[in-house]
Amino acid sequence: MEAILQYFHQQPAYLLWLLFLIENIAVCLFSLALGNLILSAYQQSLAKPTPTEYWLCLLTVILNTAITYAGFYLWQRGYITFSFSWSWGIIPQFVMLFIAMDLLMFIFHFIIHQKHIFRLMHRLHHEYHDPSPIDLYVLHPIETIGFGTLWLILIALYHFNIYAVIIYLVVNVISGIVGHLGFEPIPEKTRRKFPFSYLGTSHFHHTHHNQISHNYGFYTTVWDKLFNTYKD
């Protein structure tokens, strides 16, 4: 992994932008394909995205590319540093990233639900009461930049292991897909038991799309239960 980053370090800026764009397009296509595959496997209807959803999805991919480049630029300048060794320390660092980003995104999500901010930006995401996989990428540009900035600040504050970061990013994508399926594949009886009762399931996020003053969390229900915004 260190060798790959060093290889990128030697490439001109335009080539890096192209490589990061290809990477983000691939992640987006994987998200849509996996989401639709799950819907098909459970015999759920596949809603056809609107042209607006396609354009917003493309814009989010471009902004994610800019955030990826910004992270790489900060790494080049030494503001972000990584360790590259395999060790048991990868697990607690992943847990640290998981919990910290869940809290930061909960706070940011709560803020953009305040009346005037919601009208200006986040209402766009809530035009879709029954989310589908593509709605993971249907975000206001400022919202995308906001989430990306939180991520860059977090990884700049601590010397994380690169493999813990990669594991977190994979979990982040899968969690986003699950949250925007528009149906709950986990039976209710199971969903109410540990650990599912503390995870941000599809039902949890779908409820947020229909009752916007509840369920601000992403990966877990912990913060909503702690701050009395949880709704089931």
For the chain, the domains span 2-226
Mean pLDDT of 71-81: 94
Tokens representing 116 are: 């005037």
pLDDT at 13 (0 to 100)? 85
pLDDT of 74 strictly over 90: yes
Contact at 8 Å (CB) between 182 and 132? yes
Q: Which of 200, 224, 199, 226 minimizes the C-alpha distance to 213?
A: 224
Residue 161: its H or E element: strand 160-161
pLDDT at 219 (0 to 100)? 94
Question: Helix or strand or coil: residue 82?
Answer: strand
pLDDT at 101 (0 to 100)? 96
* Confidence category of residue 220, pLDDT binned at 50, 70, 90: very high
Q: In terms of C-beta density within 10 A (0-12 exposed, 13-18 middle, 19 or more buried), how is residue 96 classed? A: middle
Cβ neighbors of 215 (< 8 A, separation 6 or more) are 204, 205, 207, 208, 221, 224, 229, 230, 231
Phi–psi pair at 30, nearest 5 degrees: -60, -45
Higher-confidence residue of 84 and 115: namely 84
pLDDT of 153 strictly over 90: yes
pLDDT at 7 (0 to 100)? 63
What's the pTM?
Answer: 0.91
Mean pLDDT of 98-117: 92
pLDDT at 11 (0 to 100)? 73
pLDDT of 2 strictly over 70: no
**How many other CB atoms are there within 10 angstroms of residue 41's CB atom?**
9
